[in-house]
Amino acid sequence: MEERAALLARVSAGHGTEIKDPATGEVIGRVAFGTPGDVAAAVDTAAKAQPGWAALDDQERCAALMRAADAIDAHAEELAYVVSREQGKTMNGLGARYEAAGCAAWVRATASTPLPVEVLVDDGQSRAELHYRPIGVVGAITPWNWPMIIACWQIAPALRMGNTVVQKPSEYTTLTGLAIAAVLNEALPPGVLTAVTGAGDVGDALVRDPRVGKVMFTGSVKTGMKVIEASAGNMPRLTLELGGNDAAIVLPDVDPQAIAEGLFWGAFINNGQTCAAMKRLYVPDAIYDEVVDALAALAAKIPMGVGLDEGNVLGPLQNQMQWNVVNRLVEDAKVRGARVVMGGDPDAAAPGYFYPKTLIADIDNAAPLVQEEQFGPALPIIRYTDLEQAVEWANGVDVGLGASVWSADRDTALAIAARLQAGTVWINSHGGIDPRVPFGGAKRSGYGLEFGVEGLKAVSVPQVISG
């Protein structure tokens, strides 16, 4: 066995459900899915470990997180191998190695973020301070698109604030979830982080457990609504990062060649399987053809294939379900008369869940490919003549995770950004995130903030001390 496969073998079970590589269909391991009873046992472990973990001071917990980041670095190639084999992303580009490195960087940033006591009043007669205390046990339900780094986004701040965590990875990327937990646990005290495996019934049991004081969930709007319903009886705090259908508005003053690369990766990072990826591109008539041509020329040069092939930078979709969604939306666009600039012709008989890089031009804004989140490598490019109409279209969906404005005039771009209904609006880029900068959605894209100081506050209980 090659050395980088050691971690995959370590987290694979000798029995249970077969896990297949989405690029080749090869069986790469097995997972023994858990039950609601396993959730109860995991929460019990976390609840017993929490007082001791919370009793450590902030500096001690941060030091443990720094050691956890070192462990990620030590296993970076093994982690990248696991996520490439199970999720499908390529080793290079914005792929598996990028995700592994991001995990370590994010954990370190979380441990380095200052959170001083806030003095609210100190007028010589009275003093009021705002402190942040642990919640207790946090349930972290993580998705299949970025299964390692999103786990770290949830786990690291929860631990930093003195909570313990029960992590439930997606049933589509369970091995990856187990792998990142195993590596983190090399540096953490026993019981502080516990992973449970399973499908919806296991996640439901975690959300309903009365000992879980906070639930963090990243996934679809539909499942997010189920989390809200299941949690109602116990009223845990919630952070929900749900679906997006991010719009980008290009203004006529840009150079199409200069922005083509930024537009492409804004849409096609992780093969479009990113909540805050660009899903709709609005381009003015004056430069529409130039933008479409520049995107097509760039896309044609981007190699797609099996993730372990070092020359590839885009891989397959992760699962058949998502392949079906992308294919349905693209086929509908064809029927409606939209122009297929490239792609849109998958080989359903080929191994793996590959869907070609697809650009769809001259598509009506009302088409499902525009109005629904495709979550894959198919970008609709909508022509507009009136900027007011483009803003209205951009705001015309029920989600609002991210958006972007592309212009040579920053002041103009900022004015338009202020009118877009999204949690984050980027100027002349799309999808970039920073561990120091809060991130969250508007409308049905969820609520609560992650990252930075606000993310730490979100996994703690505010307490005012007056006197």
pLDDT tens for the 467 residues of the chain, in order: 589 999 999 999 989 999 999 999 999 999 999 999 999 999 999 999 999 999 999 999 999 999 999 999 999 999 999 999 999 999 999 999 999 999 999 999 999 999 999 999 999 999 999 999 999 999 999 999 999 999 999 999 999 999 999 999 999 999 999 999 999 999 999 999 999 999 999 999 999 999 999 999 999 999 999 999 999 999 999 999 998 999 999 999 999 999 999 999 999 999 999 999 999 999 999 999 999 999 999 999 999 999 999 999 999 999 999 999 999 999 999 999 999 999 999 998 889 999 999 999 999 999 999 999 999 999 999 999 999 999 999 999 999 999 999 999 999 999 999 999 999 999 999 999 999 999 999 999 999 999 999 999 999 999 999 98
Same domain, 104 and 229: yes
pLDDT at 87: 98
Q: CB of 270 within 8 A of CB of 94?
A: yes
Same domain, 189 and 214: yes
Q: CB of 378 within 8 A of CB of 351?
A: no
Same domain, 280 and 414: yes
Same domain, 288 and 382: yes
449 found inside a domain: yes
30 found inside a domain: yes
- Tell me the angle at which helices 174-184 and 76-87 cross, rounded to the nearest 10 degrees: 170
Q: CB of 176 within 8 A of CB of 204?
A: no
Question: What's the sign of the alpha-carbon dihedral 176, 177, 178, 181?
Answer: positive
Alpha-carbon radius of gyration of the chain: 23
Name the token pair of 347.
Answer: 């080989």
Same domain, 328 and 461: no
341 found inside a domain: yes
Could you give the C-alpha distances from 127 to 37, 133, 464, in angstroms and in order? 48, 19, 10
Same domain, 202 and 289: no
Same domain, 11 and 79: yes
Name the token pair of 38.
Answer: 């396993």
Instruction: Give, as one character, the DSSP assignment of residue 116.
Output: P
Task: Please identify which of the residues 78, 171, 241, 373 carries the catalytic annotation.
Answer: 241
* pTM: predicted TM-score of the whole model, two decimal places: 0.96
439 found inside a domain: no
Q: How far apart are CA 438 and CA 135, in angstroms?
A: 20
Please enumerate in sequence order all residues whose Cβ is within 8 A of that of 331, keeping only pairs 6 or more positions apart, or say none: none
What CATH code is carried by the domain that includes residue 379?
3.40.309.10
Domain hosting residue 360, numbered range: 246-427
Reply yes or no on whether 373 is catalytic: no
Same domain, 237 and 280: no
Number of domains in the chain: 2
Q: How far apart are CA 467 and CA 465, in angstroms?
A: 7
Reply yes or no on whether 275 is catalytic: yes
Residue 426 CB-half CA count within 13 A: 22
Provide the edge-to-edge strand list for the sheet that holds 118-122. Answer: 118-122, 127-134, 460-466
Cα–Cα nearest to 415, from 271, 249, 194, 300: 249
What CATH code is carried by the domain that includes residue 181?
3.40.605.10
433 found inside a domain: no
Q: How far apart are CA 7 and CA 403, in angstroms?
A: 37
Same domain, 262 and 382: yes
Distance of CA 352 to the CA centre of its chain: 23
Task: Please identify which of the residues 275, 310, 373, 392 carries the catalytic annotation.
Answer: 275
Name the token pair of 23.
Answer: 């690029």
pLDDT at 349: 85
Q: How far apart are CA 211 and CA 135, in angstroms?
A: 10
Name the token pair of 406.
Answer: 């592309």
99 found inside a domain: yes
What residues form DSSP beta bridges with 59? none
Q: Which parts of 385-421 are beta strand (E)?
A: 399-400, 402-406
Same domain, 266 and 224: no
Same domain, 194 and 294: no
Maximum distance among all alpha carbons in the chain?
77
Same domain, 183 and 271: no
Distance of CA 257 to the CA centre of its chain: 29
435 found inside a domain: no
305 found inside a domain: yes
